[in-house]
């Protein structure tokens, strides 16, 4: 297969902007790593008109994709976890080309997982955890138990990823296999939710009680990145926080984290007068 695809990727490999060329072949009948195609080629480049450009090919009754992606886009996927196959691809695909050991450096970075990047990823996962947990609780209180179940499964998934990151590892696609070894308490919580013989309402009720404790225990590590940024000023308007380059990836979850911290008196609110009568700006500072 590599011989057939060589003319396609060799042209890319000869370009000075190309950093690495990787090939992932279909392993099983169902193969999300290759989008269910027989093979996926990934060309990582320094710069491109589009952060991701994809072509599809057919040959000998087989299907292939050519994915041209910028290194900046790869970094964003790894940081935000929005393309979960990237860690698998970087470590387990066949390397066809590697300019100046770019891929070797990337693998080393993922293995060592720099502390600053780890803290940011924990903060992002904590924000998603809080949002999903609160959504689940709202559904539960309105007796929408299936929607509550869906939200709390997602919340537990973010908690699992947070635990894996906190131990210095990148979350893989099979994150629950990692959590089973790293943090059995969280794994058991998930297992009880999906496998218990109790009614769904009772399962959720018990889970919310346990989750309250777990979220409380993870708050300090979960918000350490945000609080480190906030120490840079005495007080912040929300717009200032949202525009801060280190907080831009928090996006819609930043507001819910702040309110969570205000309720727990970790952050305090200062009211600033506006032109409107009895209407105030909110400024946030560390208690």
Q: Where are the domains of the chain?
A: 2-112, 113-222, 223-287
Residue 192 burial class via C-beta count within 10 angstroms: exposed 0-12, middle 13-18, buried 19 and up: middle
Residue 100 clears pLDDT 90, i.e. is over it: yes
Query: Which SS3 state, helix, strand or coil, does residue 271 take?
Result: strand
**For 113-222, which CATH class?**
mainly alpha
For the chain, how far is it from start to end, CA to CA, in angstroms? 61
Cα distance between residue 157 and residue 166, in whole Å: 14
pLDDT at 277: 81
Assess whether the region 2-112 and the region 113-222 belong to the same CATH fold.
no
The reported pLDDT for the residue numbered 111 is 87
Report the CATH number of the 2-112 domain: 3.30.460.10
Given a cut of 80, is residue 266 above it in pLDDT?
Answer: yes
Among 25-39, 121-135, 140-154, 175-189, the least confident range: 25-39
162 and 126 Cβ atoms separated by less than 8 Å: yes
Averaged pLDDT of the chain? 91
* CATH number for the domain formed by residue range(s) 223-287: 1.10.10.10
> What is the pairing mode between strands 236-237 and 62-70?
unpaired
Which segments of 196-287 does DSSP mark as H helices, in order?
200-222, 224-230, 238-243, 253-263
């Amino acid at each position: 297969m590599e011989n057939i695809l060589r003319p396609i990727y060799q042209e890319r490999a000869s370009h000075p902007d190309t950093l690495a060329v990787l090939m992932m072949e279909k392993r099983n009948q169902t193969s999300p790593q290759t989008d269910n195609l027989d093979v996926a080629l990934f060309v990582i480049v320094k710069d491109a008109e589009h952060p991701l450009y994809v072509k599809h090919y057919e040959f000998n009754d087989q299907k292939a994709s050519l994915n041209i992606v910028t290194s900046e886009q790869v970094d964003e996927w790894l940081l935000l976890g929005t393309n979960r196959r990237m860690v698998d691809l970087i470590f387990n695909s066949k390397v066809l080309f590697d300019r100046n050991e770019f891929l070797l450096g990337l693998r080393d970075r993922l293995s060592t997982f720099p502390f600053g990047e780890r803290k940011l990823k924990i903060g992002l996962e904590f924000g998603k955890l809080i949002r999903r947990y609160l959504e689940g609780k709202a559904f539960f209180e309105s007796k929408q138990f299936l929607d509550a179940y869906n939200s709390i499964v997602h919340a537990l998934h973010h908690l699992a990823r947070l635990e894996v990151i906190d131990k210095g590892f990148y979350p893989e696609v099979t994150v629950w296999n990692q959590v089973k070894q790293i943090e059995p308490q969280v794994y058991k919580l998930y297992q009880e939710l999906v496998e218990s013989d109790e009614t769904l309402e009772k399962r959720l009720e018990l889970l919310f009680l346990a989750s309250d404790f777990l979220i409380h225990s993870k708050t300090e590590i979960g918000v350490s990145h945000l609080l480190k940024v906030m120490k840079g000023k005495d007080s912040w308007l929300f717009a200032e926080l949202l525009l801060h380059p280190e907080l831009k990836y928090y996006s819609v979850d930043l507001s819910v984290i702040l309110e969570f911290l205000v309720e727990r008196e970790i952050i305090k609110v200062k009211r600033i007068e506006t032109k409107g009568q009895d209407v105030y700006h909110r400024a946030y500072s560390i208690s």
